[in-house]
Amino acid sequence: MRLAPSLAMGFILLHLLVEGHRLPMLPIYGLTVVLFLRSLPNVFRPARLHREAPSRSARILRALGIVFGLPLFIIAGMLPAVVPVFRLPEPAGPHSVGCTHLYFVDKNRPEIFTSDPSDVRQIWARVWYPAAPQGDKDPMSYMERDSARALARWWGLPRSLLDGFALVRTHSYLDAAILPNSEPFPVIIFNHGYQVAPHLYTVMMEELASQGYVVFSVGHAHETPFFRKPDGEYVVFDPENEKRQLRLQEGSDPVRERLIYEFPETQNWQERESL
């Protein structure tokens, strides 16, 4: 038992070297360091056959440590479970899945979300498609750290809270060769939910691509947290953009009112799809 805090400290250091730090793990880091430092005198102190009874003050301090320390241990254990390094389900289709990024600039359309008259509309698309078998290659991560931090900023979360997304592996291979096929693959153009990123639909997109579809998930400038250009550069948008905020505050139209009314009444996804 004397060496348990030292072993825990070793595992923490290994975790930091391999994975890097994660914000939800900070309480565990702190508790591990405290216990490690507290255990050092016992590690170098010779073992005693007969221990003296602890003093009254020592017993009080121990009781206080248990009373206040136990909730800290519980909180420290729960935080990593709130934002876990999860595992994505494997696509059920017969094909491997490739993924690439496309970036378009429409110089004929002015950007409506900025006041710069020279600004033009930008579109980003993340594309999943049936790919040739990839052998032992490593699949891409669910999100890179830069994109996870852009998403956290967009949602008003602590900057590093979603860093664990970079440790999650998908079943897609970046820029993999497309699967040879005698017929064109059917194409789906997917418009993701407002204010979210195409990454968040990875499971659905991978499933479709594994079944033989090419899926374009389109990101719209200033209405999604970020773009990723083909060269890897990120374009991060401001969540406080004035014109975007005005759009969020616009009054509802009849279609939106019907959706708001109907959706809580539906019982399953088939009924929701019929709307």
10-51: pLDDT as tens digits: 777 887 777 777 777 777 777 777 777 777 766 666 555 556
In this prediction, residues 52-68 reach a mean pLDDT of 71
Which residues are within 8 A (CB) of 207 and not within 5 positions of it... i.e. 6 or more apart? 91, 92, 93
Provide the pLDDT confidence category of residue 252 given band limits of 50, 70 and 90: very low
- This prediction has a pTM of 0.70
Distance CA 148, CA 150 (A): 5
Q: How many residues does the chain have?
A: 275
DSSP 48-78: -SSPPPPPHHHHHHHHHHHHHHHHHHHHHHH
Distance CA 27, CA 97 (A): 38
The confidence score (pLDDT) of residue 274 equals: 44
pLDDT in tens, 121-172: 888 899 999 999 988 889 999 988 888 888 888 888 888 888 888 889 999 9
In this prediction, residues 234-263 reach a mean pLDDT of 65
Residue 271 vs residue 72, higher pLDDT: 72
Structural domains in the chain plus CATH codes: 4-45+54-82 (no CATH), 96-239 (3.40.50.1820)
Q: Quick one: 128 exposed, middle or buried, by C-beta within 10 A (0-12, 13-18, 19+)?
A: buried
Query: Which of 255, 261, 150 lies closest to 200 in space, CA to CA?
Result: 150
